[in-house]
Amino acid sequence: MTKPGPRQFGALAPGDFARHPVWIGRHGADGDEPRCDETGTQRPQIFADGRRFDFWGGIIGIAAAERQALYAAPKKTPEAIFPLSFGAKAGRVDGFYRRRKSEIDVER
pLDDT in tens, 26-60: 655 445 555 444 445 677 888 888 888 989 898 99
- For residue 43, give the DSSP letter: -
CB 76 within 8 A of CB 40: no
pLDDT at 88 over 60: yes
Alpha carbons within 13 A on the beta-carbon side of 30: 13
Q: Long-range contacts: 90-95, Cβ < 8 Å, 24+?
A: 91/42, 91/44, 93/44, 93/55, 95/55
CB 59 within 8 A of CB 30: no
pTM of the model: 0.58
